Amino acid sequence: MNRNLPPLRLLTVFETVIRQGGIGPAAAELNVSPPAVSQAIKELENRLDAELLDRSTRPAGLTHAGRVLQRAIVDGLGRIAEAIVEIGRLGAGADQAATIACSVGFATYWLMPRLAVFYAQHPDLAVNVRTMQQGDPPLAAGVDLAIRFGDGNWDDGVVHHLLEEQIDPVCSAGLAARLHGNDWLRSASLIHVDVEDARWLSWSDYLLATGQQATRRRGLHFTNYVQATQSALGGQGVMLGWRSITGDLLREGQLVRVGGAPLVPDDAFYLVVAHRPRSASACSFISTWLMDVAASDKQAITH
């Protein structure tokens, strides 16, 4: 092992803090005290000789160095998790398994709830999920299918249109009741997601595209949509709800639309199947199932 790598426990603490959105929730998951988590983060920063958290914000955001390390950890842990699953299934036969790569937000709020139904109906098929920060994960080694957000113009696999996106401002029902009707934009705290991919619209992009006046209030900033959604569910502000992430939460009443015109971006979600998947039969079956589920979702939304 590379001796320049910091201890795995420090990287695990850092990943937990980012995923949970703060020191306190991370300490609860790790079953340690908040000061112990803070000490671990500081030790990691000292080893790397770089600040990872921007402590001038509340909650603390990531510095550029923090974002670089976060991407590497998410990708690395995803590969380790996939390897563990594959090792456990070595005797089950590769023809009964496939691996899907997609973004963290899409996996958490769209794919995994639906895969729970798939697993119950098809226990003989294994679907491994590899999550990544970006919206267009590559068909890297060991990946059979990728769910990407973009224009569909890729040639590394067979591309199928999966579902359209729609963006609406959303928040918890409790917060919506406290906002000032049509003047919600002036009275709401906005939840921002800071990503480098320009295809994922910011509040400024949304307000400009819908002809609304931009706001200069700072609001809350997060590095991924899982953290932002948890903040919105907790009543901490209004976020831009992407249908792939907040659609189920809206149908369940956990989040509500607060006004503002819906926006349909030019890009959409596509399913990309590798030209040479490890199991053509498993990939074909899973691809058809995913397309059917997406079509059912669309029909449910329009009725």
Instruction: Set out the domains of the chain in order of their start, with CATH numbers.
Output: 8-69 (1.10.10.10), 89-162+268-302 (3.40.190.10), 167-257 (3.40.190.10)
What is the phi/psi pair of residue 122, to 5°?
A: -135, 70
CA distance 229 to 110: 13
CA distance 271 to 149: 9
Task: Single out the residue of 195, 172, 193 nearest to residue 184, CA to CA.
Answer: 172
pLDDT per residue over 223-249, tens digit each? 888 888 999 999 999 999 999 989 999
Helix (H) / strand (E) containing 207: helix 203-209
pLDDT per residue over 183-211, tens digit each? 787 878 899 988 777 778 888 888 888 88
pLDDT at 1: 47
pLDDT at 300: 57
CB half-sphere exposure, 284, CA atoms < 13 A: 5
Task: Single out the residue of 136, 135, 256, 258 nearest to residue 206, CA to CA.
Answer: 258
CB half-sphere exposure, 131, CA atoms < 13 A: 20
Give the length of the chain: 303
- Residue spans of alpha helices (H) in 52-159: 64-88, 104-106, 112-121
Q: pTM higher than 0.75, yes or no?
A: no
Task: Single out the residue of 166, 299, 297 nearest to residue 240, CA to CA.
Answer: 166
CA distance 113 to 44: 34
